[in-house]
Structure 1
Amino acid sequence: MARHGRRDTALGVGAVVAAAAVLCGCSGNGGTPSGNTSRAASAAASAAASLASQAASALASATAEAGRRFDEIKGGTDAGGDVRTGTTSSDAEGRSAAELTVTNPTKQTRTYAVQADFRDSGGNLLDTVVVMVDDVAAGASKNATALSHRKLSGHVTVDVARAVRY
């Protein structure tokens, strides 16, 4: 998935550079770009690369944190089948929010750690979060919300990457 995300980021950077060149236009000297156009295109490329780098860094950090959180759980049981995702929306700050429903099929109250992955329409990973759902009663369900770390754009879906019951 990371490969596709980098390719899409590179394509996005190229689109920004091309748009900057078109918007800035060319000088009257035979169609060669003016100094202003070159500087604007360079600045646009630099800004786009910086944003892409920040997004990649944030995703790497979130993924590492999710791994650490699951590594701390001792004696847990795979519980991916106990979690269902609902609709995805945006909160007031533009972050993506997804409804989660955890159903505990055991005969004891359990806590769940759920890793929710936010993806774009192409299936590229945009963000990942770990949601702790405490004290889910035996045979009962409990709702929680997965909230992205940052604002995500476009059509965003959520899937359960992993869930552990303990």
Structure 2
Amino acid sequence: MAGHGGRGADGAALALATFVTGCTPGRPGSAGPAGPASSAASRAARDAGDAFAGAGAEAERGIVAARGGVDTRHEVRLGAVALGGDGRAATRVVARNTAGSAKSFAVQVDFTDRAGNLLDLTVVLVGDVAPRSTGRGAARGNRRPHGEVRAAVGTTLRY
């Protein structure tokens, strides 16, 4: 089923896996542009892939669980970000079900810095939301970011 920008859940999972691992579809094991001038970029992509390996694996599992879903990013709201006692970012997730039957949501939450750089990500599953009702969940990051942290709704699927 088509999602945001014509991508279905499979496309969203592929895009997320591509971002997290630094691989290009059709080029297994690639880590960015080829050539000697891009060695620094390749190292940065590899380091970013390593840094987000745990978060990316969790995110991919959540998105894969929602295959066949519909992109409903506009039906999800996030609360303010707070850093817990363990230093991890957390936010409240509210999903509004506009469908006529109970639905579940897989919500990717991107934790970013002020400039929009990705610091961490996680997927929250909000299950069995009654028709025309809201469901709640909590997103908790996997890393301990420093500085100002913001939360943005990433890929969101209703299924």
TM-score by length of 1: 0.63
> Which residue of 138, 141, 148 corresponds with 2:131?
138
Structure 1 pair 76/56, CA: closer, same or farther in 2 (3 Å)? closer
Partner of 2:27: none
1:102 correspondence with 2:118:
no
Could you tell me how far 1:61 is from its partner in structure 2? 3.5
CA distance in 2 between counterparts of 1:112 and 1:96 reads: 21
Partner of 1:92: 85
Partner of 1:8: none
User: Which structure would you say has the larger Rg?
Assistant: 1
Count of residues in correspondence between the two structures? 117
- Between Structure 1 and Structure 2, the one with more helix by share is 1
Partner of 1:34: none
CA distance in 1 between counterparts of 2:133 and 2:81 reads: 23
Could you tell me how far 1:64 is from its partner in structure 2? 4.1
CA distance in 2 between counterparts of 1:85 and 1:106 reads: 20
- For the 8 Å contact 2:66–2:158, the answer to whether it is kept is no
Q: Which runs of 4+ in 1 moved over 2 A?
A: 71-74
Partner of 1:155: 148
- The one-letter code matched in structure 2 to 1:62 is A
- Identity, % of aligned positions: 37
CA distance in 2 between counterparts of 1:153 and 1:160 reads: 20
User: What residue ranges of structure 1 are gaps of 5+ in the alignment?
Assistant: 3-52
Secondary structure, aligned partner of 1:149: coil
Secondary structure, aligned partner of 1:87: coil
Secondary structure, aligned partner of 1:117: strand
- The one-letter code matched in structure 1 to 2:84 is D
Q: 1:17-166 to 2 correspondence within 5 Å? A: 53=47, 57-166=50-159
Q: 1:2-21 to 2 correspondence within 5 Å? A: none
TM-score by length of 2: 0.66
Q: Which moved more, 1:80-89 or 1:66-75?
A: 66-75
User: What residue ranges of structure 2 are gaps of 5+ in the alignment?
Assistant: 1-18, 21-46
CA distance in 2 between counterparts of 1:87 and 1:73 reads: 26
